[in-house]
Structure 1
């Protein structure tokens, strides 16, 4: 366990909070003179949404959309590795919109049997919690309201998905393989969501940070896909079935290329899902919502029974 946490120690040179503070100082958000979310010809002491800073308001909406998704991932990994969620990690979940609870079975902590997989899961849990903390700090320091954690369902959602892939009463917290399959549902979506949202960001510093988060999510996705492929044919088939479900929810025109790929294609490993130019796929916010809500054009459902918080929902 220690080996996976050394690189995230709290020493002055590696403190992740110090990096975030430096990030916000670059935006002029901390200190006596911190004011605007993004540079604009007309500056205001209070940069809350108004007719003159539409670009900043759009950036905040995109970051809040990402925050909703990070809440989901962080809760999943923290509950699976520690048995408690963001509150246990002492990370706030309040903010704009209705703050929801997390629906999950009693005692969700996974009993890992492979030390390496447990270490990977703990590292990813730390990363996802840090993403939540980071986005909340950025949005809070900008004087825009960070959204509250919406209600998250990690119980009925997996039961519904399990029925679609032929696994009745699927419980992602039952064992380490199930946990990897549950993680597979999220990770590829996170990568494609960040890539798809990148053209919506107007502030280059935000774009750089989003690219950094995308990179981390891609590392996670590659690790999860590798572990599932190595687990054998049954695990590969289930992952490919999950990929088929996600692809169906993308609601692409008939004959259009898929935005999703399983871990195996034609009996060959497929660790990196990408197009013909080896470029990662992009999903629009609507396509991401289709997946997390479990139906095209839905406004709530599956992982978010009451919908997301924020303007992109």
Structure 2
């Protein structure tokens, strides 16, 4: 489990940026920074995202407009982290039948990681963050282990391919470094979920290519795959893609 940390982070100008009231759970930004090891690069991201003179994507009347450039990429990652956090929150709140204590602990850890990722992006983007999305999980049978793990596999594999596919679109090297730290955590989740379904499948040819590299997908492909679960009308007009 993520350990308790102080509820503030030092900005690059020496001021303190409070996180009180930001997180919906006990997982705070400082906890995630320690967990992900983002260090100074992540602190700079938080400071940049929270500048008061940066208008938010919703200022034009669309609270789900991702923005453009690197901000759009960060909101893209934020949207995916929202999706995963919402899914695992439901899994832990309503565990599938005959879940073992071990699997419950694993699902709880993954939930906490995804919430930490979500809250970090929310705080880092500040006024430029999209609003909280609403999701449709009606196609998932949360009482079935098979349905839950199959969905978790889909989300985790999709998340890894999303970070891999968006990395070269990021202009700021600090953002790229942070994305690299997060995708490594998502890959750990993906490997775990795959082995819960079938032992030894954590790195099969569904996700690893002939060069031994993880697969990557463009934002267009990823959002198309995630679309059935997202109810909010997102606007990715200016999201970099390929």
TM-score w.r.t. the length of structure 2 is: 0.73
Deviation at residue 281 of structure 1 after TM alignment: 0.9
Aligned to 1:194: 163
1:121 aligned residue (96, 107, 110) = 107
Instruction: Give SS of 2:233's match.
Output: coil
Matches within 5 A, 1:64-79: 64-79=75-90
Runs (5+) with no aligned partner, structure 1: 30-35, 38-43, 50-55, 84-107, 159-169, 232-262, 294-301
Cα separation, 2, equivalents of 1:151 and 1:278: 36
Instruction: Give SS of 2:176's match.
Output: helix
Contact 2:95 2:104 in 1 (8 A): no
1:152 aligned residue (135, 144, 150) = 135
Instruction: Give SS of 2:128's match.
Output: coil
Cα separation, 2, equivalents of 1:215 and 1:288: 18
Cα separation, 1, equivalents of 2:39 and 2:53: 20
Aligned CA distance change for structure 1 residues 227 and 109 (closer, same or farther; 3 Å): closer
TM-score w.r.t. the length of structure 1 is: 0.57
Aligned CA distance change for structure 1 residues 272 and 122 (closer, same or farther; 3 Å): farther
Cα separation, 2, equivalents of 1:273 and 1:179: 19
Deviation at residue 176 of structure 1 after TM alignment: 2.9
Aligned to 1:46: 53
Deviation at residue 305 of structure 1 after TM alignment: 3.0
Aligned to 1:59: 70
Contact 1:201 1:207 in 2 (8 A): yes
Cα separation, 1, equivalents of 2:192 and 2:206: 10
2:23 pairs with 1:16: no
Aligned CA distance change for structure 1 residues 273 and 28 (closer, same or farther; 3 Å): closer
Matches within 5 A, 1:125-274: 125-140=111-126, 144-155=127-138, 158=139, 171=141, 173-230=142-199, 263=201, 270=204, 273-274=207-208
Contact 1:225 1:271 in 2 (8 A): no
Deviation at residue 45 of structure 1 after TM alignment: 7.8
Larger helix fraction of residues: 2
How many residues end up aligned between the 2 structures?
Answer: 203
Cα separation, 2, equivalents of 1:21 and 1:110: 37
Aligned to 2:231: 305
Cα separation, 2, equivalents of 1:148 and 1:206: 21
Aligned CA distance change for structure 1 residues 209 and 24 (closer, same or farther; 3 Å): closer
Deviation at residue 230 of structure 1 after TM alignment: 3.5
- Deviation readout 1:65-106 (Å, 9 max, x if unpaired): 11111111000001110x2xxxxxxxxxxxxxxxxxxxxxxx
Deviation at residue 25 of structure 1 after TM alignment: 3.6
Runs (5+) with no aligned partner, structure 2: 7-27, 57-66
Matches within 5 A, 1:65-104: 65-81=76-92, 83=93
Of structures 1 and 2, the one scoring higher in RCO (CA 8 A, sep 6+) is 2
Cα separation, 1, equivalents of 2:91 and 2:189: 15
